[in-house]
Structure 1
Amino acid sequence: MSELRNGDYREVNFDGLVGPTHNYAGLALGNVASMTHGGLVANPREAALQGLAKMKALMEMGYPQGVLPPQQRPDLGALRALGFSGSDERVLARAAGEAPQLLRAVCSASSMWTANAATVTPSLDAPDGRVHLTPANLQSSFHRFLEPATTARVLAAIFHDPSRFAHHPALPATPAFSDEGAANHTRLAGDHGEPGVHLYVYGRKAFGWDNEIAPAPKRFPARQTLEASQAVARQHGLADHQRVFAQQHPEAIDAGVFHNDVIAVGNGPVLLYHEMAFLDEAAVLDELRARLATPLIPVRVPAEAVSLADAVGSYLFNSQLLSNRDGSMTLVVPGECQERESVWRTIQDHLLAGPNPIAEVVVKDVKQSMRNGGGPACLRLRVVLSAEERAAFSGRVLLDDALHGELVAWVGRHYRDRLAPEELADPQLAEETRQALDELTGILALGSVYPFQLG
């Protein structure tokens, strides 16, 4: 049983339900797994059940587990805004014939990776004593740029009490303020019930106010900007001593580390990271040590132990690091970590046997997600909440056995066990998805959050 040591603050992991249109379209430039598996046949039912199985396993281990619903896909409104007109069937047929990549984009189930949904600051750290949430604009990819409006409605429906929760608009959807959410944000503290320091990791600077020419990736784009990270920190009222801004190593980006959570994960005072995670590793550690009220516990994995290629291929660092009642931590890794000898050996000999709180490794099968480039950490949004804040939820989003059973049955009723890219134009798929999501909002008691429900 997991239980925080300090007060009634606990971290709730909100996992994204995999949507009915889960498919392999290879849309994400810089995401090696997504690019590699583009065009393969996907199994939406298996993907959703794998995600639910991970949620249930962590719930049974005592970790509070929440659920976030998928987006409405295909996004026919987006296709109509791009000039496709007529009936749903006509719009889908024209898109498939004239712009198949657009069709794939508006069918993406990428909202399953809720680490990109938003950035969250706990009430402990905010000057007004409220939990602050900013949906990510995700402007660097068209298929993800479609998400923030529905994400904002979902978050507002769940975190509804304005006396406890503050909602901010997504940043302007321009390259200067490219924001990828909590995938580039880590909160470090003695434990979840203590004030924290926020580590924001960016890939590039948008404005050269200081005339500095920073190293940049050469192969893949840097998604997060420093200016976006700074803006989110300002929205949430964080002071200088509460935040650290660090540049991601451009060589890591070129190796497929499109978000920081592919190369580093933090929890409590522990920062588990690859030596190529940050452009200036020593400066980042020095700043964190200077700001943290508790000693930082850096767990550095050298490149000689795990190469960048193996880090990206296994998603070792895209794991969940969770606090236990006795002060130890559990690392939840994808099954791919067992398939690479150097990674599994490092877990056993360096992480579990090292001078750090990581005492247990749990392996979970999330292959359907992994093939699209998202591991255990991608699938969850971390929200630190007090008991009163947890009680102030609207909707039925905290997982228990009953809700898990209902969601498994719901997936069985509505999800296909095979979906190839060429089947995305099937108008019946769009209708199946609307029916599924309409039923889901009833199960989760969220009200009307989808475009088709709003009219």
Structure 2
Amino acid sequence: MSGADQASLDACEVNFDGLVGPTHNYSGLAHGNVASMSHGGLVSSPKEAALQGLAKMKSLKDAGYAQGVLPPQQRPDIGALRALGFGGDNASVLAQAAEQAPQLLRAVCSASSMWTANAGTVTPSVDAADGRAHFTPANLQSSFHRFLEPETTGRVLAAIFADPAHFAHHPVLPATPAFSDEGAANHTRLCGEHGEPGVHLFVYGRQAFGGDGIEPQRFPARQTLEASQAIARQHGLNDAQVVYAQQHPDAIDAGVFHNDVIAVGNGPVLLYHELAFRDEQATLDALRDKMATPLIPVRVPLAAVSLEDAVASYLFNSQLLTNPDGSMTLVVPGECQEREAVWRCLQDHLLAGNNPIAEVVVKDVKQSMRNGGGPACLRLRVVLSRVEREALGGRVLLDDALYADLVAWVECHYRDSLSPEDLSDPRLAEETLAALDDLTRILELGPVYPFQMA
């Protein structure tokens, strides 16, 4: 057996979930994200949010799935406020921002990096010509609070995937509307086994140059075709390995701001809503033409689940995971039980259908859901061989000891409640820096935050 064949046999998908940061709050920052906008101004619980995320990670780890963790960003980002003209000591900067530009203060306190599906786009080594896994952090230029993330994200990814023999890192795309990139939330890799070569489905909302102008009218399209094409070039993917598909404009206008809110893929299975793609048939035909393993499309018709129900429940923002026997488990948020049509679809259409989905597991991630992020938003999927897993830097693969340490860390550093009015409290900034300094020690990452390199 060749080395490449052995690597394909021991490859597995690792879900790297984002730890919810200490400034988790409901500021309603994300235009086009219905849940985020509708919950703006409510009181959040950072501690509950972080523990809910960790509980999901632990349960999946205990079920046999490979699970990793990614740290949150440094928030509040006082450096960003200083760059925007606020001066004095930290307390003065926060007070000025709260009085003069509260929307900026809310933005620099966002804990949105928990949704690591937006951290970047990943190509596994089995698909790359140079035999390395490739990473491009997303520029997230469509919203200011997320535009602040890529620099730290790049340092974190470089610290974890550090060995240049196994991992390649690419620069963030230019932060302009033409190359608007939201990461893996608009990217799905379809294949047979995870260690086999795959086809990369890039979904975009609009074209920056050319196109026919058919775009959403109510909410912005966050991913461009040009950004997806640039990432494919960076990662060395050829035409036979990629499919580009436009997201349905009606779905975006209904609040489907990313493709992972309306479709999820795993292995050869593509679970999607009837209105996921502007040209459904052309998308399926292109995937069938390029995949070595037969595509298994699982279509949910509009008559069964409306766009409103899909957005409210985040049915498609679920994790679809492969089991040792080839069956699949769908991990859904608790909100799926609260919508009768969605729950009926899960029982009567998916579980009873002719497809590998054999189990539905419900997880409580309400603190994240109220800000518009479900189970799939919370994780970045990285296919790694055994050798690549052994080459990871830091202590980021979840085991019982790390879980216990992270729970204790949350219990020590996080507040039980946080309102938007609390964001100007200078003690919150001090608490957050102490928490992150402790976290980098626990995760053994070294200095990845601006305050650690000052």
Work out whether the TM-score is over 0.5: yes
Equivalent residue for 1:68? 70
Equivalent residue for 2:409? 410
Equivalent residue for 2:38? 36
Equivalent residue for 1:362? 361
Q: Does 1:214 align with 2:216?
A: no
Map 1:278-289 → 2, pairs under 5 A: 278-289=277-288
Q: Is the contact between residue 75 and residue 111 of structure 2 (CA under 8 Å) also seen in structure 1?
A: yes
Q: Match of 2:125, SS?
A: coil
Q: Does 1:169 align with 2:168?
A: no
Q: Match of 2:68, SS?
A: strand
Distance in 2, Cα, partners of 1:320 & 1:214: 33
Q: Which amino acid aligns with 2:77?
A: D
Q: Which amino acid aligns with 1:438?
A: D
Distance in 2, Cα, partners of 1:271 & 1:418: 39
- Deviation of 1:191 (Å): 1.4
Map 1:302-321 → 2, pairs under 5 A: 302-321=301-320
Q: Which amino acid aligns with 1:239?
A: N
**Which sections of structure 2, spanning at least 5 residues, go unmatched?**
1-5
**Residue-by-residue CA offset, 1:210-234 (whole Å, 9 max, x unaligned):** xx42311110000000000000000
Equivalent residue for 2:380? 381
Q: Is the contact between residue 8 and residue 385 of structure 2 (CA under 8 Å) also seen in structure 1?
A: no
Q: Does 1:398 align with 2:397?
A: yes
Distance in 2, Cα, partners of 1:427 & 1:247: 44
Equivalent residue for 2:201? 199
Aligned-residue CA RMSD (Å): 0.9
Percent of paired sites with the same residue: 79
**Residue-by-residue CA offset, 1:315-360 (whole Å, 9 max, x unaligned):** 0000000011000000000000000000000000110010100000
Q: Match of 2:127, SS?
A: coil
Q: Which amino acid aligns with 1:77?
A: G
**Residue-by-residue CA offset, 1:300-328 (whole Å, 9 max, x unaligned):** 00000000000000000000000110000
Q: Given the alignment, which residue of 136, 161, 184 partners 2:138?
A: 136
Equivalent residue for 1:438? 437
Distance in 2, Cα, partners of 1:403 & 1:87: 36
Q: Which amino acid aligns with 2:89?
A: S
Residue 20 and residue 122 in structure 1: after superposition, are their counterparts in 2 closer, same or farther (change >3 A)? same
- Deviation of 1:107 (Å): 0.0
Distance in 2, Cα, partners of 1:160 & 1:217: 40
TM score, norm. by length of structure 2:
0.98
- Deviation of 1:429 (Å): 0.1
- Deviation of 1:5 (Å): 12
Q: Is the contact between residue 8 and residue 126 of structure 2 (CA under 8 Å) also seen in structure 1?
A: no
Q: Is the contact between residue 242 and residue 291 of structure 1 (CA under 8 Å) also seen in structure 2?
A: yes
Equivalent residue for 2:240? 241
Equivalent residue for 1:371? 370
Residue 355 and residue 6 in structure 1: after superposition, are their counterparts in 2 closer, same or farther (change >3 A)? farther
Equivalent residue for 2:186? 184
Q: Does 1:342 align with 2:320?
A: no
Q: Which amino acid aligns with 1:446?
A: L
Distance in 1, Cα, partners of 2:411 & 2:280: 47
Q: Is the contact between residue 110 and residue 144 of structure 1 (CA under 8 Å) also seen in structure 2?
A: yes
Instruction: State the number of aligned residues.
Output: 449
Equivalent residue for 1:227? 226
Distance in 1, Cα, partners of 2:194 & 2:59: 21
Q: Match of 2:60, SS?
A: helix
Equivalent residue for 2:13? 11
Distance in 2, Cα, partners of 1:196 & 1:394: 26
Q: Is the contact between residue 274 and residue 280 of structure 2 (CA under 8 Å) also seen in structure 1?
A: yes
Q: Is the contact between residue 5 and residue 325 of structure 1 (CA under 8 Å) also seen in structure 2?
A: no
Q: Match of 2:220, SS?
A: coil
Distance in 2, Cα, partners of 1:157 & 1:5: 23
Equivalent residue for 1:25? 27
Q: Which amino acid aligns with 1:316?
A: L
Q: Is the contact between residue 7 and residue 385 of structure 2 (CA under 8 Å) also seen in structure 1?
A: no
Q: Given the alignment, which residue of 150, 155, 158 partners 2:157?
A: 155
Residue 62 and residue 5 in structure 1: after superposition, are their counterparts in 2 closer, same or farther (change >3 A)? farther
Distance in 1, Cα, partners of 2:442 & 2:8: 33
Distance in 2, Cα, partners of 1:454 & 1:278: 44
Distance in 2, Cα, partners of 1:164 & 1:408: 31
Q: Which amino acid aligns with 2:410?
A: V
Equivalent residue for 2:3? none
Equivalent residue for 2:328? 329
Q: Match of 2:298, SS?
A: strand
Q: Which amino acid aligns with 2:221?
A: A
**Residue-by-residue CA offset, 1:147-182 (whole Å, 9 max, x unaligned):** 000000000000000010000011000000000000
Distance in 2, Cα, partners of 1:186 & 1:281: 15
**Residue-by-residue CA offset, 1:354-374 (whole Å, 9 max, x unaligned):** 010000010000000000000
**Which sections of structure 1, spanning at least 5 residues, go unmatched?**
none
Q: Is the contact between residue 5 and residue 327 of structure 1 (CA under 8 Å) also seen in structure 2?
A: no
- Deviation of 1:388 (Å): 0.2
Q: Which amino acid aligns with 1:372?
A: N
Q: Is the contact between residue 11 and residue 383 of structure 1 (CA under 8 Å) also seen in structure 2?
A: yes
Distance in 2, Cα, partners of 1:406 & 1:323: 28
Q: Is the contact between residue 171 and residue 177 of structure 1 (CA under 8 Å) also seen in structure 2?
A: yes
Distance in 2, Cα, partners of 1:317 & 1:102: 32
Equivalent residue for 1:424? 423
Distance in 2, Cα, partners of 1:360 & 1:109: 31
Q: Match of 2:9, SS?
A: coil
Q: Match of 1:133, SS?
A: strand
Distance in 1, Cα, partners of 2:169 & 2:42: 38
Residue 130 and residue 179 in structure 1: after superposition, are their counterparts in 2 closer, same or farther (change >3 A)? same
Q: Which amino acid aligns with 2:44?
A: A
